[in-house]
């Protein structure tokens, strides 16, 4: 009985329509551009302590390194498997928001202009890219439901 139900769900019209929409989104210039920019933003965050010169702040260095790599990996799935990975964008929104507040939360009283500027700008870009990915997923679903 469970075999029949699972094979029936594989061919359900809504599932097929969602997969088709996911394929269309990832094949657009906007979808591919969002993915590429997001990977670059995540990798920049990961190396920013050494590029910008604040690797002396160990807590922020570790935070940027780990979260930058996590963001890049989470956002990297869009080009190949958007239909299965678009929900990861919400985690990337949280990573971007944390990146913005990290200089104050992690460094405590040690505020250096370059740490703040780097994290606020990079975190803002990361949040916008993740929200764009979420928006691409919802745009197709709301258009399909309004018909």
pLDDT in tens, 5-37: 555 556 656 656 656 656 666 667 888 888 899
CB 62 within 8 A of CB 46: no
Helices 88-107 and 113-146, packing angle to 10 deg: 160
Tokens of 114: 């370059």
Mean pLDDT of 97-112: 85
What pLDDT does 1 receive?
Answer: 47
Range(s) of the domain holding residue 32:
2-146
Mean pLDDT of 66-81: 83
CB 102 within 8 A of CB 60: yes
Question: Which DSSP symbol is given to 110?
Answer: -
What pLDDT does 80 receive?
Answer: 55
Average pLDDT, the chain: 80
Mean pLDDT of 54-67: 92
pLDDT band, very low/low/confident/very high, at 40 (cuts 50, 70, 90):
very high
Q: Which residue has the higher pLDDT, 80 or 122?
A: 122
- Reference 78, options 144, 17, 127, 29; nearest CA is 29
Q: What is the per-residue pLDDT across 116-137, written as a single tens digit (0 to 9) for each?
A: 999 999 999 999 999 998 887 6
- % the chain with pLDDT above 70: 65
Helices 58-75 and 113-146, packing angle to 10 deg: 20
pTM score, two decimals? 0.78
Domain count, the chain: 1
- Reference 20, options 141, 130, 131; nearest CA is 141
**Tokens 């989104």 belong to which residue?**
25
Distance between CA atoms of residues 33 and 54, nearest Å: 29
Radius of gyration of the chain (CA): 19
What pLDDT does 135 receive?
Answer: 84
């Amino acid at each position: 009985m469970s075999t029949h139900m699972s094979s029936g769900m594989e061919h359900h019209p809504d599932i097929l329509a969602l997969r088709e929409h996911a394929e269309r989104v990832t094949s657009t210039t906007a979808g591919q551009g969002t993915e590429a920019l997001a990977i670059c933003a995540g990798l920049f965050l990961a190396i920013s302590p050494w590029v910008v010169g604040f690797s002396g702040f160990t807590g922020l260095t570790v935070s940027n390194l780990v979260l930058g790599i996590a963001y890049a990996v989470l956002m990297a799935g869009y080009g190949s498997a958007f239909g299965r990975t678009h929900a990861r964008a919400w985690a990337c929104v949280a990573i971007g928001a944390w990146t913005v507040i990290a200089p104050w939360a992690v460094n405590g009283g040690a505020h250096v202009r370059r740490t703040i500027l780097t994290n606020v700008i990079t975190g803002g870009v990361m949040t916008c890219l993740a929200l764009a990915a979420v928006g691409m997923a919802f745009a197709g679903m709301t258009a399909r439901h309004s018909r």
